[in-house]
Every structure is written in C-alpha cells, then in structure tokens.
Amino acid sequence: MSKVIIYLQHYEKYLLHFGLIILSVVAKETFAQVGKGLFVGGSLGLRTESGTTKTKSGNIVTETENPKQSSFGIMPRAGYFFTDNIGVGLTIGYERTFYQEIDELPNNPSHGVNTTVTTTTRAGLFNIGLFGRYAQQLGEGDFYIYGDLGFDIASGSSKIEEKKKQSNSSNVNITEKDGPKISITSIGIAPGILYFPTKKIGLEASLGNIFGFTATKEEITIGSTNSTQEIRTRNLYLFDVSSLGFIFGLNYYLNR
C-alpha cells in the first residue's frame, strides 16, 4: 500500500510539472499573438533633409547650400484586428512642413555686391486616412513585422517668407505672403517592426512608404486680384529616399 501511495505521489508531481509546462506554453503563445480586437494609439513622424553642393571650375571650388526641408506629424488612430494577422483602421492627423531655399543673386558683380535671398515656406496639413495591416510574428518572441496599405487625404495652407540681404549692408528686407492652398491624395505601402514590451502595449517603428502614389493640387492666388492658378502634380515612387522618414508609434490593444 505504501508503494502505491509513493507512486501516486510521484505521478501527481509529474502531472503538476507537465501542467505547469503546458500553462507556460499557452501563456507564451497567447501573449505572442496580436489577437483579434480593438486597438487605439497613434504615431509621431519626423523627416529632415539638408546638405551642400560643391561646384569646381578650374581651381575655384564653390560650395552652396541645398534646400533644407523637414516635417513633423502627429497621427492618432484606431483599428480592429479581424484575425490574429489582419486588421483595418482609421487615422486622423496633422503635419507641419518646412522648406527653405537660399539663392545668391549678383546685383553688381564689378563691385562684388551680391544679394542673398532666403525663401522659407511653412505649411500645415490636416489628414484623414484608412489603412489595412498584415502582421507576421518573428519566431516565438514578441517581435512582428508588418505591412500597411494606406489611403490618405490631406489639405491645408502655407505661408511664404522672403528675406533679402545685400553683402555690403547689414539691413534685411523681409516680406511675407500667403502661399498656395494644398490638397494631397496618396496611397502607399509602409513596412515596419512591432514589439510588445507588455501584453497590451505595442511599440512600432517604420520608415514610411517604400512604394506609393501621390497626387498634389496647389491653388495660388495671383497678385492682389481674385484670380487663381492651379498646379497639379502626380508622383509615383519606389524606394524614394526623399519620401522616407522615421515614424514611431504606440498602440494599446484592448482585447489582448
């Protein structure tokens, strides 16, 4: 009888160990899946570009600054995963852009007098968009790769500031005017990395669209009249470095 009790005690011990192993595996798999349900959050985007161009003519090397441009955006969003891998969502955001160009105009070359013209354009754009997401787990950990297919509509206005300064004077002439009204429609594919430091919080990082199409409309008021000029441009790009920017996001998964 004592031997049977000992065997049962050993058997219960093995069952307990086995049960703990199963629970840990199930918990790990449950934690690792994105899971069906609602998520809310947002992202911050930053892009900046600057540089110089060197021109050599004989022994003379001239260095000029390239246009500087940068943008910063904030984009709240909400979405829903229908399966462990596929979800859709809605975004609403605001983006602030900056573009500056410097030109050197020779007023009186014989006297070495030049005029430096610095033109700065600032624009604010409101954005609304839809996106679909596919997420794939990497191994058995908490890292995922994902791809977003997004459709966005943005509109806003801009201001233009022009500064003129002659090389033989310290005076700066500043003029400001309204810039074009801007409307943008875009569609693109953006890959990224998703990481879950906790069960319900997901951190993600992306470089933005690697493939996309953008249609832009600019409406410019001519002089002090009521007449306007409309400029339309279309851009199809693939791995365009100038279109990339660092985007960091955080989401809270309610049903995970």
pLDDT digits (tens, 9 = 90+) for 137-178: 998 888 999 999 999 999 999 999 988 888 777 788 888 888
Helix ranges, 132-215 (H): none
- Between these two residues, 105 and 130, which has the higher pLDDT value? 130
Output the CA–CA distances (angstroms, integers) from residue 104 to 100, 114, 173, in the order listed. Answer: 14, 7, 15
Kindly report the CA angle at 254 between 43 and 87, in degrees rounded to 5?
65
Q: How far apart are CA 221 and CA 244, in angstroms?
A: 31
Q: Are 131 and 151 in contact (CB under 8 A)?
A: yes
> How many angstroms from the chain centroid is the CA of residue 173?
36
Q: How far apart are CA 20 and CA 15, in angstroms?
A: 9
Could you say which DSSP state residue 59 is in? T
pLDDT digits (tens, 9 = 90+) for 23-57: 343 334 444 567 789 999 999 888 787 777 777 77
Output the CA–CA distances (angstroms, integers) from residue 189 to 88, 113, 164, 222, 252, in the order listed. Answer: 14, 50, 42, 37, 23
- The structure tokens listed for 184 are 């943008």
| Non-local CB neighbours of 74 within 8 Å, separated by 6+ positions | 42, 43, 44, 45, 93, 94
pLDDT digits (tens, 9 = 90+) for 178-221: 888 999 999 999 999 999 999 899 999 998 888 899 999 988 87
Question: What's the mean pLDDT when you consider all of the chain?
Answer: 80
Per-residue model confidence (pLDDT) at position 86: 94
> How many angstroms from the chain centroid is the CA of residue 79?
18
Q: How far apart are CA 256 and CA 251, in angstroms?
A: 12
Per-residue model confidence (pLDDT) at position 116: 83
Q: How far apart are CA 179 and CA 158, in angstroms?
A: 5
